[in-house]
């Protein structure tokens, strides 16, 4: 995953080049999506995030405790979503956000899964530690 949203790109540029304060979120969350629609432009209302209605889906906190190295950073613990109580559909993309509920917060980074995953009732979607890497290039 190496795409930053327009929101984050602007915040980092202003912070770095214009001395405009940007406060990093204290917690970041991972959201699951069935396409990348709206993620680059931080349009969560137009994004295809998994539905929270009757499915037990919720964005899940991620931890990046180790310092970045070589322009990359990876999650330091597993990101385990609630067990699906309804079919979630085919997850193709994920996004790291600063908000923990659907339509809340801002997209920070987003990207496609290496392999899309059809999440059906009873499945538990997990991203193992060190398998979610953000790279700035």
The whole model's pTM is what? 0.94
- The set of residues, in sequence order, having a beta carbon less than 8 Å from that of 122 and lying 6+ positions away, is 83, 84
Count CB neighbours of 67 within 10 A: 6
Q: Where are the domains of the chain?
A: 3-128
Q: pLDDT digits over 89-133, tens only?
A: 999 999 999 999 888 899 999 999 999 999 999 999 999 999 999
Cα gap 95→4, rounded to integer Å:
10
- Helix (H) or strand (E) run with residue 6 in it: helix 6-18
* Tens-digit pLDDT profile for residues 5-50: 999 999 999 999 999 999 999 999 999 999 999 999 999 998 999 9
Q: How many C-beta atoms surround the C-beta of residue 16 within 10 A? A: 10
Sign of the dihedral defined by the CA atoms of residues 47, 98, 54, 113, in that order: positive
């Amino acid at each position: 995953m190496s795409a930053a949203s327009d929101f984050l790109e602007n915040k980092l540029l202003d912070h770095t080049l214009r001395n405009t304060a940007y406060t990093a979120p204290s917690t970041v969350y991972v959201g699951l999506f069935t396409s990348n629609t709206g993620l680059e432009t931080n349009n969560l209302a137009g994004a295809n995030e998994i539905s929270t209605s009757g499915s037990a889906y919720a964005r899940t906190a991620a931890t990046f405790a180790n310092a970045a190295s070589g322009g990359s950073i990876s999650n330091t613990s597993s990101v385990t979503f609630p067990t699906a109580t309804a079919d979630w559909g085919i997850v193709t993309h994920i996004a790291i956000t600063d908000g923990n509920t659907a339509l809340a917060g801002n997209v920070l980074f987003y990207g496609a899964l290496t392999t899309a995953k059809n999440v059906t009732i009873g499945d538990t979607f997990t991203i193992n530690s060190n398998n979610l890497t953000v790279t700035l290039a």
